Amino acid sequence: MVDISKITRPEIIEFFEFRQNFRDQVNEVYFKTVEYIINDYLPIWEKVETLNKRWLKGENISNMLSKKEIKLLADHLRFYMEYYSEYMLQLNPIHRPQSF
């Protein structure tokens, strides 16, 4: 929901590009490991984007997604968060203090 063409700071553009590349990477790994295919996911995501725009205008959008659609989105979000957590732990491992 951000118009990237209006962003002038290069570090912000770089961050957006990094996040998009990361999302693409996560999606590629996700759809290799689940029974869904990208063609199942894209129409749901387009529906979510439309519902988000309607919600921002103040419309009530409850119960607009089926249980199957909600499950797919929840599974994807869970996978994304676990993947992101593992990625961040590789970049910044948690160092445990040594006991004496």
Asked if 73 and 44 count as a contact pair (C-beta separation under 8 A), the reply is: yes
- At 40-80, the pLDDT tens digits run 888 998 999 999 999 999 999 888 999 989 998 999 999 99
Asked if 31 and 38 count as a contact pair (C-beta separation under 8 A), the reply is: yes
pLDDT at residue 100, as a whole number: 64
- At 88-100, the pLDDT tens digits run 898 888 877 777 6
Report CA-CA distances (Å) from 28 to 14, 37, 42. Answer: 21, 10, 13
- At 27-39, the pLDDT tens digits run 889 888 887 777 8
pLDDT band with cut points at 50, 70 and 90 for residue 16: confident
